[in-house]
Amino acid sequence: MTIEDWRSKIDALDRRLADLLRERAECVIAIGKIKSTRNMEVFDPERERQIIRNILQENKGPLDDDALRRIFERVIDECRRIENNK
């Protein structure tokens, strides 16, 4: 494959990632509504640790655990921000 072919593939993957992140955010908003009706806190540190553990258990590389942890910590942080604002 040429560099253009690889870049096209990356562009398509980026679109899929954006769709998955949108879907994840929609789930977070739904959970936030449930938490609100139950007077629950948005921040659930044990759940966030569980998410990271689950991701790291499934890691098949080439990203190492630290890289995946940083990525998902950021995703979780942004989703928490959305949940706080809904």
Q: What are the structural domain ranges in the chain?
A: 3-85
Question: Distance between CA 44 and CA 40 in Å, rounded?
Answer: 9
What is the predicted pLDDT for the residue at 11? Answer: 98
> Which parts of the chain have pLDDT scores under 70?
86
Cβ-count burial of 68 within 10 angstroms (0-12 exposed, 13-18 middle, 19+ buried)? middle
H runs (alpha helix) in 38-64: 45-57
What is the predicted pLDDT for the residue at 84? Answer: 86
Instruction: Kindly report the CATH class assigned to 3-85.
Output: mainly alpha
pTM: 0.88
Confirm if 5 and 56 have CB atoms less than 8 A apart.
no
What is the predicted pLDDT for the residue at 85? Answer: 83
What is the predicted pLDDT for the residue at 31? Answer: 95
